[in-house]
Structure 1
Amino acid sequence: MMNRRTLLVAAGSALVLPSFARAEDISPQAVFHDPDAPALGNPDGDVTLVEYFDYQCPFCKSNHPVVEKVMKEDGNLRVVMKDWPIFGPPSVYASQLVLGAQSFGGYEKGLEALMATKGKLSNELIDDTLSAGGVDPKKAQAGYKADQKKIDALLSRNYGQAVGIGLQGTPAYIIGRDIYPGAVDEQTLKDAIALARGA
């Protein structure tokens, strides 16, 4: 079982993965600086927080405002969002559409709209929620199809990294070299950022 804080495996370390999992690059560079993974906050921030999440995960959704608050108050924090759709087909569909919305600047609107939902999602509810949040789902779907190879590869990398690091579910946060599984409160996030900043 994973401890509350576990050192992130450095590049070149040996990995023993389940037979179904692809050995993904889990070096700090790959995890913190994937060029295709959306980043929020300060793009030049001195600390990066990586979040593995699913749009159907109730803890991801309830903890999202906490992460946002800390990010805005800090001003020097970069937040990398790693879609890890593990709650079934609607989760995959949601990730595809919101990542597809990046092509026309709709990523943050889509993220905020779906993170504000309650309970399980259906494709119809995802479309309706995105529409209400100012993101045209048909345009997002077209954006996904245009960049399907890149987006599918990103989702595959995110999955491989999550398994390789040993994450047990969503949400999971990586700050500095430490992993914080599950929902975390504001003070824990601030302390983790301060620790990473001090290092």
Structure 2
Amino acid sequence: MKFLAPLALAATLATPALADLTEMTDAERDAFRAEVRAYLLDNPEVLMEAIAVLEERQANAEVERDQMAVAANADALFNSAFDWVGGNPDGDVTIVEFFDYRCGYCRRVAPEVDALIEFDGNIRYVAKEFPILGDQSLLASQFAIATRVALGDDAYETMSDALITMRGDMTEAALIALAEENGLPSQEIVAALDDPLVASTIAYNRDLAGRLSITGTPTFVFGDQLVRGAIGVDDMQRIVELIRAEAN
């Protein structure tokens, strides 16, 4: 049997009418494998190219899955009454953030988000309480949501901003002190901790995160794109510009 160059042979084998490995004798099959192995050892860049193509395909498939998941859950993401909305409520681009107050990356990215909102002026921001780092994270989210239930959106923003920069353990005593330091009546907040809306908000966001395969914080949704992990304001601006360009 006369052997083709390995890559040409691989292409030929993809066409059933031309060749089939199962039709080779054992000796022909061994010779074919030896020739392919020798070619790849002599040209290892071919493997790197193939791996790069595979990784690109996998990344594109993940992006497509994320976009489909975002589309399927758009109302829960962008229009849930459970969530506080900041920035420009009528902004042309909505950014959703799943965050945890004890997450170091969330703390790091918070000033970047604030800078984008302030610089752009046309960003609608949706805050998704998503405590995943233990009991103190859960208590902090409960306290923030209870603040909104008891005192409204402005008080929630004050409490949330204070929590994302808070140092030390997030115990109930520490959270009460933090509220008082920021001029918020802690007794009303503590009384609202048992409001069913507090638990419902967290359960709703956890269920939504599961449907979107979100397991870490921060995770952002920019338009129809899921962005996992902390990114800087420059990258945020580029994503927003692309969203606007696609809309026009």
Q: If the TM-score is normalised by the length of the shorter chain, which range does it land in?
A: 0.7 to 0.9
- Check conservation: 2:69, 2:212, Cα contact below 8 A: no
Instruction: Provide Cα deviations, 1:64-122, integer angstroms capped at 9, x if missing partner.
Output: 01101101111111110000111111211111111111131310110111111236533
Q: In the alignment, is residue 180 of structure 1 matched against residue 227 of structure 2?
A: yes
**Most deviating of 65-74 and 150-159:** 150-159
Instruction: Provide Cα deviations, 1:46-65, integer angstroms capped at 9, x if missing partner.
Output: 11100000111111111101
- Check conservation: 2:129, 2:202, Cα contact below 8 A: yes
The whole-number CA distance in structure 2 between the counterparts of 1:157 and 1:192 is 27
Equivalent position to 1:48, from 72, 78, 94: 94
1:8 counterpart residue number: 67
2:218 counterpart residue number: 171
1:197 counterpart residue number: 244
2:137 counterpart residue number: 91
The whole-number CA distance in structure 1 between the counterparts of 2:174 and 2:193 is 18
Structure with more contact order per residue of length (Cα contacts < 8 Å, sep ≥ 6): 1
Q: CA deviation at 1:11?
A: 7.4
**Most deviating of 95-104 and 65-74:** 95-104
1:143 counterpart residue number: 192
Q: TM-score, normalised by structure 2?
A: 0.68
- Check conservation: 2:69, 2:211, Cα contact below 8 A: no
The whole-number CA distance in structure 1 between the counterparts of 2:73 and 2:99 is 19
The whole-number CA distance in structure 1 between the counterparts of 2:98 and 2:173 is 24
Q: Which runs of 4+ in 1 moved over 6 A?
A: none
Instruction: Provide the aligned length of Structure 1 versus Structure 2.
Output: 183
The whole-number CA distance in structure 2 between the counterparts of 1:188 and 1:11 is 20
Between the aligned residues of both structures, percent identity stands at: 28
Instruction: Provide Cα deviations, 1:137-190, integer angstroms capped at 9, x if missing partner.
Output: 322122333xx2222212111001112111130111110111111111111111
Q: In the alignment, is residue 82 of structure 1 matched against residue 128 of structure 2?
A: yes
Q: CA deviation at 1:131?
A: 2.1
Q: In the alignment, is residue 161 of structure 1 matched against residue 161 of structure 2?
A: no
Residue identity opposite 1:124 in structure 2: A
Q: CA deviation at 1:136?
A: 2.7
- Going from structure 1 to structure 2, the CA distance change for 1:188 and 1:127 (only over 3 Å counts) comes to same
- Going from structure 1 to structure 2, the CA distance change for 1:3 and 1:129 (only over 3 Å counts) comes to farther
SS in 2 for 1:9: helix
After TM superposition, the structure 1 = structure 2 runs for residues 17-32 of structure 1, keeping only pairs within 5 Å, are 27-32=73-78
**Most deviating of 116-125 and 181-190:** 116-125
**Most deviating of 63-72 and 159-168:** 159-168
Q: In the alignment, is residue 72 of structure 1 matched against residue 118 of structure 2?
A: yes
The whole-number CA distance in structure 1 between the counterparts of 2:162 and 2:70 is 36
The whole-number CA distance in structure 1 between the counterparts of 2:184 and 2:166 is 15
* Structure 2: 5+ residue stretches without partners: 1-57
Residue identity opposite 1:31 in structure 2: L
Q: TM-score, normalised by structure 1?
A: 0.83
2:175 counterpart residue number: 126
Q: CA RMSD in A?
A: 2.2
The whole-number CA distance in structure 2 between the counterparts of 1:119 and 1:10 is 37
SS in 2 for 1:8: helix
After TM superposition, the structure 1 = structure 2 runs for residues 104-123 of structure 1, keeping only pairs within 5 Å, are 104-105=151-152, 106-118=155-167, 120-123=169-172
Q: CA deviation at 1:135?
A: 2.3
